Amino acid sequence: MKPPGIVFFVGAGPGDPELITVKGLKCIQRSDVIIYDRLANPVLLDYAGANTELIYCGKQPNHHHLEQTQINGILIEKALEGKTVTRLKGGDPCIFGRIQEELEGLKELGIRYEIVPGITAGIAAPAYAGISVTQRKVAASFAMVAGHLCHGNSISEEKWKAYALGIDTLAFYMGISNITYIRDRLIDHGRDPNTPAAVISWGTTADQRTLSGTLQHIPELVRDHGVQNPAIILVGEVVSMHDQFAWIKEQPDVIYS
């Protein structure tokens, strides 16, 4: 019986395939099996070996190609076969990536694993739009928030107050469906309605689009332009950098307000 293999949890980066780390790319090249997400750029799979087994496990709102328990089981199964496995996750594997759930079974069985960090969209998409999420004298704090969980009473009033008044720059992931609620909660807890805000969709890819305006009006911009996930909602004074420092050419039909 073969000894167990190893599982690499690799951050694929935010979309631009050139933003993967050198170590992440080496993991792809040496793997027997790659289990990859929807937001991992498929171009990266071109670096896999000819005999590498590719398993898609992408998730969309209300539709999972494979359930999380199935993914956990496949990781264990393939590793117990003595194979080198890469679990390729969009962005960084430790940011909203359910990595703990996938590690638990490996840990229990003594299967080796490594975590290879990746560049997360909350930093990269703003950078491609000319926005630095921190800025001297303007923004000394930055937070990433799971926007799809921002509804009802899932976040305490104390946390909303902290988001609104205690953090300079906020990046909401997967929050488009809740953007009006997010706007209302921030304003209700003291954030200035005129705070610069932006929505950046398909960040770092050829399809990147940026809509910028104010916190008060950002939900209407999203609705009027039909923006859908994947997108980052960015709130903070740093968003004002976009008009001056945007350095990539985006889709010509984007209107900035």
Q: Taking phi first (over 0 means left), then psi (-120 to 50 degrees means alpha), and beta for anything else, what does residue 16 get?
A: beta
| CA atoms of 49 and 99, how far apart (whole Å) | 25
Residue 24 class from Cβ within 10 Å (0-12 exposed, 13-18 middle, 19+ buried)?
buried
6-to-39, 93, 111 alpha-carbon distances in Å:
23, 16, 6
Identify whether 59 is a catalytic site residue: yes
| 144 is known as an active-site residue | no
192 is catalytic: no
* Cα 214 off chain centre by: 23
CA distance to 12, 33, 77, 180, 191, per residue, from 120 (Å): 9, 23, 29, 24, 25
Contacts of residue 117, Cβ cutoff 8 Å, sequence gap at least 6: 11, 21, 92, 93, 94
CB atoms within 10 A of CB 156: 9
Q: Answer whether 29's CB lies under 8 Å from 106's CB.
A: no
CB-based contact 20:118 (threshold 8 Å): yes
CA dihedral 146, 244, 193, 213 (to 10 degrees): -80
Among the options 23, 59, 159, 161, which is catalytic? 59
State the catalytic residue, choosing from 83, 144, 174, 241. Answer: 174
One of 32, 37, 92, 241 is an active-site residue; which one? 37
Structure tokens at 167: 């953090």
Please identify every residue annotated as catalytic.
37, 59, 174
